[in-house]
């Protein structure tokens, strides 16, 4: 079958979560093509996949860059049920994805009718896939990126914002996906997430060369500090700088700071004893580490979890607070989720030391690692997607 992969614009990390399933589909003999805005091209090529440029990420990029850095961390954004700002911001994400669908559905439809896919594999937030699948008469499979707190708020807002588009297209409403693939272990998944096809999380952080120092464990305990690919450009360098200052005061510790080249420039000077790596896949060295300090993105977090690493989470916005909360509840680490807590370097250092020293956190992380490993492999999920594609075509 032919599978058209539709990641959301301005969300490269969401696409990276899809790569293991895409590889499984390719290994099973299926044709794969990734389609989306230009910001996704390099990620698709680095995964060994073909790419077709469609749409534009410019409006989403402009919106992200308009936020002042002193906005972060923003704990008031996380509780969409209790705070007006939290609800507004989650609705805004749905509005942006709905607007992208309205602006580009004709372009996507023309391309898809030419390429003739048998199935659409889309990120859970990529709303354009749902009316597109109905127009083509092919199944739509949504793939979660990790902890998914969008819940009913996102779903209802999407239906409302795309009602007119669906009417114009002759659709009775925004179609539901035919299946949802979920690589997040149940213990970490948000309580509001609709159950989906469970799949084992397998990390893909891009290509890279294993350095000499990553081949053996050091004599000291090793901490990895990683903000992820997208957070420093949005949230600024301060979260990384504060975490580095806290780690620098710990005895008998070696620190690895994993950054993109652009983030490295923004972060600036770091302690001379730190090893700074640029564009090095985490999965090449995390088995030599003892602790992960992160900002709460699911890509970094689930990668660390798959290695059984305890974690200290410094969430900045959106689902990062939910990731930290669920990780802490699972006994696999701590989440410092207030502005005062993240600004308190001595307190932050004490939190990191407590997670590093207490074997209970290592045990909790081991339980989560085992839970991940108990999930079906991507190749097993492929069989279900093949079954969906064999079903009679939906009426458009």
Whether pLDDT at 141 is above 60: yes
**Helical residues (DSSP H) of the chain, grouped into ranges:** 12-27, 41-46, 58-65, 84-115, 129-136, 151-161, 163-168, 231-235, 238-248, 261-267, 298-306, 319-329, 339-343, 345-357, 359-373, 378-390
- What's the mean pLDDT in 51-76? 76
Which band of pLDDT confidence, cut at 50, 70 and 90, is reported for residue 87?
A: confident
- Say which CATH superfamily domain 212-373 falls into: Glycogen Phosphorylase B; (3.40.50.2000)
Q: Could you give the CA distance from residue 228 to residue 242 in angstroms, rounded to a whole number?
A: 16
Q: Do 2-200+375-390 and 212-373 come out as alike in CATH topology?
A: yes
pLDDT at 62: 62
229-264 pLDDT per residue, tens: 888 988 899 999 999 999 998 999 999 999 999 999
Domain borders along the chain are 2-200+375-390, 212-373
Sole residue written with tokens 């410019």: 58
User: At the fourth CATH level, which superfamily is domain 2-200+375-390?
Assistant: Glycogen Phosphorylase B; (3.40.50.2000)
In the DSSP assignment, the letter for residue 214 is G
| Spacing of C-alpha 395 from chain mean position | 33
> Does residue 210 register a pLDDT over 70?
yes
Residue with structure tokens 């990120």?
123
Contact 232, 299 (CB under 8 A): no
> Is the backbone of residue 75 left (phi > 0), alpha (psi -120 to 50) or beta?
alpha
End-to-end CA, the chain:
20
């Amino acid at each position: 079958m032919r599978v058209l992969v539709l990641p959301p614009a301005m969300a490269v990390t969401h696409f990276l979560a899809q790569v293991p399933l895409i590889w499984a589909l390719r290994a099973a003999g299926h044709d794969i093509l990734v389609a989306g805005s230009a910001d996704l091209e390099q990620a698709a090529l680095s995964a060994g996949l073909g790419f077709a440029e469609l749409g534009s990420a410019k409006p989403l990029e402009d919106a992200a860059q308009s936020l002042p850095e002193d906005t972060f961390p923003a704990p008031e954004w996380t509780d969409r049920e209790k705070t007006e700002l939290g609800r507004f911001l989650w609705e805004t994400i749905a509005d942006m994805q709905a607007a992208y669908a309205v602006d580009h559905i004709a372009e996507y439809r023309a391309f898809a009718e030419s390429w003739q896919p048998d199935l659409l594999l889309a990120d859970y937030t990529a709303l354009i896939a749902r009316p597109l699948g109905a127009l083509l008469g092919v199944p739509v499979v949504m793939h979660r990126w990790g902890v998914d707190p969008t819940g009913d708020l996102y779903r209802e807002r999407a239906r409302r914002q795309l009602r007119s588009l669906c009417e114009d297209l002759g659709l009775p409403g925004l179609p539901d996906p035919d299946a949802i693939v979920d690589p997040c272990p149940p213990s970490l998944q948000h309580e509001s997430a609709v159950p989906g096809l469970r799949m084992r999380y397998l990390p893909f952080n891009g290509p890279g060369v294993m350095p000499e120092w990553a081949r053996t464990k050091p004599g000291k305990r090793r901490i990895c500090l990683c903000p992820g690919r997208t957070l420093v450009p949005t949230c600024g360098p301060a979260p990384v700088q504060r975490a580095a200052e806290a780690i620098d005061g710990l005895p008998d510790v070696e620190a690895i700071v994993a950054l993109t080249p652009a983030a490295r420039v923004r972060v600036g000077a770091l302690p001379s004893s730190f090893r700074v790596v640029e564009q090095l896949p985490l999965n090449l060295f995390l088995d030599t580490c003892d602790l992960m300090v992160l900002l709460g993105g699911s890509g970094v977090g689930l990668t660390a979890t798959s290695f059984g690493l305890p974690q200290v989470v410094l969430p900045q916005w959106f689902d990062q607070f939910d990731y930290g909360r669920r990780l802490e509840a699972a006994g696999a680490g701590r989440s410092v989720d207030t502005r005062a807590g993240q600004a308190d370097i001595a307190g932050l250092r004490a939190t990191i030391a407590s997670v590093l020293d207490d074997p209970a956190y290592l045990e909790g992380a081991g339980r989560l690692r085992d839970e991940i490993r108990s999930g079906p492999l991507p190749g097993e999920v492929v069989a279900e997607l093949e079954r969906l594609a064999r079903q009679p075509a939906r009426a458009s």
